Amino acid sequence: MQAILDRIAKTIGASTERGQVATYIPDLAQVDPNQFGIAVCLANGQEYFAGDARTPFSIQSVSKVFAVALALGKVGDGLWRYVGREPSGLAFDSIMLLERERGIPRNPFINAGAIVTTDTYLAGSTPAEALGGLLRFVRDAAEDNDIHINDAVARGEMDTADRNFALAHYMKSHGNLSQDAQHTMGTYCHQCAIDMSCLQLARAGRFLMGGAAGPRLVTPERARRIQALMMTCGHYDGSGDFAFRVGLPGKSGVGGGILVINPGVASIAVWSPGLNAYGNSKLGTEAMEALAQELDWSVFS
């Protein structure tokens, strides 16, 4: 396994066509595109990593996985009153379907759905308490207290969050936001600004994979269901393509990170800042495709 990761880091990780780094937040725009990290936590407890696997990066939308687990922990299936479970077929920040479906977003992994998810775990708490609870969940999952929210990124997020504010206000206008839009958006932007390394992220993903390694934070049934959402909705309008090429459930973020689960076998995190046309890490996707092919990993075999 170590040899495989080393080879992937050396070949794919050094590719000259690296995609485009997200530019809308100053702190993200300045990230060095020539970075690549990968880490694998096996169900038997073994860990492997290569490249910049210990460098923290902004996990951005990968945080939606932890947020949905937290919200389900709080309200259970009540969450599905506010958000659907279907792929959207459109871009991550599209507002069209929201009009069509009267303010109920398609799934918790597009921006609108994640904002509702945040709104759900925020209800009844202050933003500080809610974010404290989220960080605690992530730290418990990773068994690592050195995981933090990057305030500069969170502020940059807020300053450029007009599209997300539009989504939040739109849902609010349909009565599908319990908190003030400003309030929910502040929490959401901080949620997106969690910094983690590949190794931390792979460890934090173990609660989904089953097996002996890592803490047990959700029931097996809930873990399966979250993976189902990752498979059908985890890569925005590139979800079908990822399922087709990689065959494993994953969730990407515009920081260039992807968390992928091979159920019962492994939790994998890969990171490279450059993005493809769907807004998913270009080299990260290619690395996952290579890894899955090399190891014959697929939920469909």
Burial class (CB in 10 A: 0-12, 13-18, 19+), 124: exposed
Give the interface with its own copies as residue ranges (CB under 8 A). Answer: 84-90, 94-100, 106-107, 162-163, 165-170, 172-173, 181, 210, 220, 223-225, 227-229, 231-233, 237-241, 243-244, 247, 249, 261, 263-264, 298-301
Indicate if 64 belongs to the active site: yes
Is 164 assigned a ligand-binding role in the annotation?
yes
CB of 90 to its own copies, least distance (A): 7
> At its nearest, how many Å lie between its own copies and the CB of residue 235?
10
Catalytic one among 21, 40, 64, 270? Answer: 64
Q: Respond yes or no: is residue 24 known to be catalytic.
A: no
Residue 171 or 269: which CB sits closer to its own copies? 171
Q: Which residues contact 293 (CB under 8 A, 6 or more apart)?
A: none
Least Å from the CB of residue 148 to its own copies: 28
Structure token pair of residue 285: 């996707």
Contact between residue 212 and residue 43 where contact means Cβ atoms under 8 Å apart: yes
Instruction: Establish whether 267 is a catalytic residue.
Output: no
Q: How far is residue 1's CA from residue 103's CA, in Å, rounded to a whole number? A: 46
197 classed as catalytic: no
Count CB atoms within 10 A of the CB of residue 294. 13
Decide: 239 and 260 in contact? Cβ < 8 Å: no
Dig out the tokens for 141 from the structure.
């999952």
* Nearer to its own copies among residue 78 and residue 240 (C-beta): 240
* Nearest distance from C-beta of residue 9 to its own copies, angstroms: 24
Q: Which tokens sit at 229? A: 């959402």
CA–CA dist 260, 222 (Å, integer): 16
Which residue in 282, 276, 227, 222 sits closest to 251, CA to CA?
Answer: 227
Q: By C-beta, is 147 or 185 nearer to its own copies? A: 185
Q: Which residues are annotated as a binding site for substrate?
A: 61, 111, 157, 164, 188, 236, 254
Q: Known binding site: residues?
A: 61, 111, 157, 164, 188, 236, 254
| Residues with catalytic function | 61, 64, 188, 236, 254
